Each structure stands twice: as C-alpha cells, then as structure tokens.
Amino acid sequence: MRRYLAGRLLQAVGVVLMVTTLTFVLVHLAPGDPVSAALNGPGVTETVRQHWRESYGLDRPLGEQYVRWISNAARGELGFSFSHRRPVRDVLADALPRTMLLAGLSFALSFLVGIVVGVLQAERPGGTRDRWLGRVLLLLYSVPDFWLALVALLAFSYWLPLLPAGGIVDPVMHDYLSTGGRIADRLKHLVLPVVTLTLLSAASIARYQRSALLDVLPSDWMRTALAKGLSFRAAVRQHAVRNALLPTITLAGLWLPSLAAGTVFIEKVFSWPGMGLVTVNAIGARDYPLVTAGVLAISVLVVLGALLADLAVALVDPRVRLS
C-alpha cells in the first residue's frame, strides 16, 4: 500500500512538472510580451520598455527564466503579476476561493440532485417517469453551457430584474449592510451562476448514477432482497443505492479536478472573478508569472483529485487493489 502511494505521488509530481513546463514554454513562445502590451504609447521609447523588461528579468534566456521560476515556485515565491500589478500569490489567493465557492457549491448540489434523480429513474426502469426524466436530462446535457448562462442572465437579470447582473457582491453597498444583509447580498449573487452550473452537471451525474444503479440491479443480493419480500422500490432505495454509490463517489473524485477550471464560461458570462477568468485573461495579457502559476495551481488540484479518487477506489474495492 505504501509503495503504491509513493509511486502514485511520484507520478503526480512528474505530471505537474510536465504540465507547468509545457505552459511556460507555450506562453513565452507566443508573440508579444507584457511590457510591450502595457507600454505601447507613442511617447514610450524602446529604452524604457527594455528597462522594464530588464527589471522583470524578461530579457534573460528562456532557460534561465525557467530555472529561476521553478526554484522560486518551490519556495512558494510565485512572482509578480504584470497585469494585476500585485504579487501572483495574492491574485490567486483572491481568485481561487471564489471559484471554489462557485464550483464547490454547485458540485455538492449537483451530486445531491443527480443522485436523487438517478435513483428516481432507476426505481422503475423504462417507466414513464424514467423516460421523461431521461429526456429532460439529455436536453440539459446537450445544451452549450455559455448559451444556457446567457439565456439565464437575460431572463432573470434583464427581462425580469430579480437578480443582480453579475459580480460577487454589490460594489458599493455591501460593506454598509448588516451581517444579515451581507449574507443575503452574497447569496443573491450566487444564485444564477450556481443554478446554471448545477443544472448542467446534475444532468451528467444523474445519467451516470442511473446507469450505475442499472448495473447492480441483476446482482444476487438484489434478487435475495426481492425474494425476501421487499418491493422493488424499497429494494432499490435500501440496498442498490448503497452499492451503486461507489462509482459515483469515484466520479466525484474525478470531478474534483475539473472544479478549478471548468467554470470559465460561467465566470465570463456572470463576471465572476475566479480562476478560469483570471487565467484566460492572463494568457491574453502575456502575464507569464500569473499564467504559469495559475496552470500550476489547477494541475496540482487535478492531480490531487485524481490521486484521491484512485486511493478511494483502492481502499474500498479490494478487486482493484490487487490488480
């Protein structure tokens, strides 16, 4: 067990290193650099721009920049963001929790909803409820996420002005509200993005859960339960669900990594300043330190999630452990 763990850990580090290196190289190869983009007024001489490049170390050969970045990153020094004019650490420290909040909430909600709907479907496979739920889920599964977000924003912020049109909190009033008011403000801003994300993910999860349940229906212990006199529905709820939760838990583990980067479109439409938006903008601004640190953070999360997922499966399912 320990060797397995050590091996996977080593692989994980290797993967993260590879991903970050690739990103580093890609972004540096793209034409343009942060200095020329920021200082392109006609009065700005090349001397000034060159000077800024020197002070940021951008004129050094790529290899040297890379080594310096890696050694700094290992110590936790992630550099200075050109586009935000703040330490990268601070930018990420602001953006990451926002994405986590959004993604985490919708993650929890969509698994809840997804599992429940999957169970509801599997109680009578092929029945009317199953078929109709299936169609609705398939519809949600087939819709482009940015489109759904656009439509939601239109509907509930514009045509029916019930909810705020983006952002995390009211830019002015938030601090002057009471504690209760502040919580309400945050919740109001969370509703649309979370609901949109949840709908989209829940569809996938429900389909998955239904399929997992159908897999276990023919099992021996199900037949035993039915033979003992339980109604099909009760058998499903009391026995099948517990057994069929395992694959969904595995899925949860695999889903974890996507939390960090899967919200780009939602963040864009709802002006949610999270990791996805920050990284995408940083690529456009050639903000090298921010891009590489952002991708580093995301890939660490991805790999961690995968590791946890594998571990969970190995712990719970003896068949996998031995293979």
Partner 1 sequence: MPSSARNQSFGALLFARTLRDSRSKFALVVLGIVVLAAALAPLLTPYDPAAQLDIVHLRSLAPSFAHPLGTDVYSRDVLSRVLFGARVSLSIAFAAVALSVSFGIAVGVIAGYAGGAVDVVLMRLVDAALAIPRLLLIIAVVALWGSVSVPVLIVLIAGVSWFAVSRLVRAEVLTIRDREYVVAARALGVSPWRIMLRHVAPNAMGPGLVNATLAIGNVILLEAGLSYLGIGVRPPTASWGSIIQDGAERVSDLWWLTVFPGLAILITVFACNALGDALRDALDPRQLPLTASEDLVHRP
Partner 2 sequence: MTRHLPALHFAMNQPTLSARARLSWAPLVLAALIAAGCKGSEPNATASGETGGTIVVAMPGDVNTLLPGLVASIGDRELTDLLYDRLAEIGPDLNTLGDKGFTPRLADSWNWAPDSMSITFHINPKAKWHDGQPVRASDVRFSLNLVKDPAFGSPVAVYVGNIDSVSVRDSVTAVAWFKQHTPEEFYDLVYQVVVVPEHILGNTPAAQLKTADVGRRGIGSGRFRLVRWEPGQRLEIVADTANYRGRPKLDRIVFAPSPDFSSAVTRFFAGDADLFDQLRPENIAKMAGDTVRRAVRYPNLQYATFAFNLVDPKQPTRPHPIFGERAVRRALTMAIDRHAMLRNAFDTLGVPLYGPFPGSIAVADTTLPQIPYDTVAARALLDSAGWVAGLDGIRVKNGRRLSFGLMSPSSSASRHQYAVLLQAALRKVGADVRLEETDFASFVAKQNTHAFDTEISLFATDPSVSGFKQTWSTAGISKDGSNFTAYSNPMVDALLDSATATFDPARTRAYARRAFETIIEDAPAVWLYQPPTVMGIARRIRTTNMRADEYWAGMDEWWIPADQRIARDKIGLRPLP
Which spans of this chain sit near partner 2 (rule: CB under 8 A)?
A: 30-34, 36-48, 51-52, 55, 80, 82-86, 91, 94-95, 153, 157-158, 161, 164-173, 175-176, 268, 270-271, 273, 277-278, 281, 283-287
86: three-class secondary structure by DSSP: strand
Structure tokens at 240: 């099948």
**Residue 138 lies near partner 1 (rule: CB under 8 A):** yes
Structure tokens at 43: 């009065």
**Residue 122 lies near partner 1 (rule: CB under 8 A):** no
H or E element: which one contains 87?
strand 86-87
Residue 164 Cβ vs partner 2, minimum distance, rounded to whole Å: 7
- Residue that is written with structure tokens 């290992």 in the block: 74
Span 230-259, contacts to partner 1 by CB under 8 A: 246-247, 250-251, 254-255, 257-258
Residue 55, binding choice from partner 1, partner 2, none, Cβ under 5 to 8 Å by partner class: partner 2
Among 194, 202, 241, 298, binds partner 1 (CB under 8 A): 298
Span 5-64, contacts to partner 1 by CB under 8 A: 11, 14-16, 18-19, 22-23, 26-27, 29-31
80: three-class secondary structure by DSSP: strand
Nearest residue (CB) to partner 2, 225 versus 261 = 261
Q: Is 154 left (phi over 0), alpha (psi -120 to 50) or beta?
A: alpha
Exposed, middle or buried by CB within 10 Å (0-12, 13-18, 19+), for 192? buried
Nearest residue (CB) to partner 1, 96 versus 185 = 96
Strands 80-81 and 86-87: antiparallel
Residue 299 Cβ vs partner 1, minimum distance, rounded to whole Å: 5
CA torsion sign for 254, 186, 190, 91 is negative
d(CA 95, CA 14): 26
Residue 139, binding choice from partner 1, partner 2, none, Cβ under 5 to 8 Å by partner class: partner 1
18: three-class secondary structure by DSSP: helix
Helix 241-261 / helix 179-216 crossing angle, nearest 10 deg: 130
Contact call for residues 304 and 99 (beta carbons, < 8 A): no
First to last CA, the chain: 12
Residue 292 Cβ vs partner 2, minimum distance, rounded to whole Å: 16
Residue 250, binding choice from partner 1, partner 2, none, Cβ under 5 to 8 Å by partner class: partner 1
**Residue 143 lies near partner 1 (rule: CB under 8 A):** yes
User: Which residues of the chain form contacts with partner 1 (CB under 8 A)?
Assistant: 11, 14-16, 18-19, 22-23, 26-27, 29-31, 138-139, 141-147, 150-151, 154, 158, 200-201, 204-205, 207-209, 211-212, 214-215, 218, 246-247, 250-251, 254-255, 257-258, 260-262, 264-265, 279-280, 283-284, 291, 295, 298-299, 302-303, 306, 317, 319-320
